[in-house]
Structure 1
């Protein structure tokens, strides 16, 4: 089951999402984490910490699960 991540802005970066979900401790760890782990964004591997994630995007993080970006405006 996918965990919904609600955002109030038009997008969130992959690095911000990893930090918000406590997958990494600091934003500075994102570059290292993405180099060492294969994170899938919409079923394609992506290692860019600045990758913009928009509502509807699906993210799969090894050993952390699957996430779905949602807009708070859609509540």
Structure 2
């Protein structure tokens, strides 16, 4: 298993963001189609658990890991 980097902050305006949108906003994927594919393939973890729902609502403090990189949602910051 590869080493995960320290989570980078992902400030968002609202109280929540969908997983697919967060992956795009953080530039971890190129587009929505790629976000769908990597989530459905079980390659994305939210708070340490594999998440296969692209529409999963992320809230303040949620940590998303993909491809050796991690982001932490900071709601109400954007």
TM-score with structure 1 setting the length: 0.82
Unaligned residue ranges in structure 2 (runs of 5+): 1-5
Aligned-residue RMSD, C-alpha: 1.6
Which ranges in structure 1 are unaligned for 5 or more consecutive residues? none
1:69 aligned onto 2:68: no
Q: Is the 8 A contact 1:41 1:58 kept in 2?
A: yes
Runs ≥4 residues deviating over 6 A: none
How much does 1:49 deviate?
A: 0.7
> What is the TM-score with the length of structure 2 in the denominator?
0.79
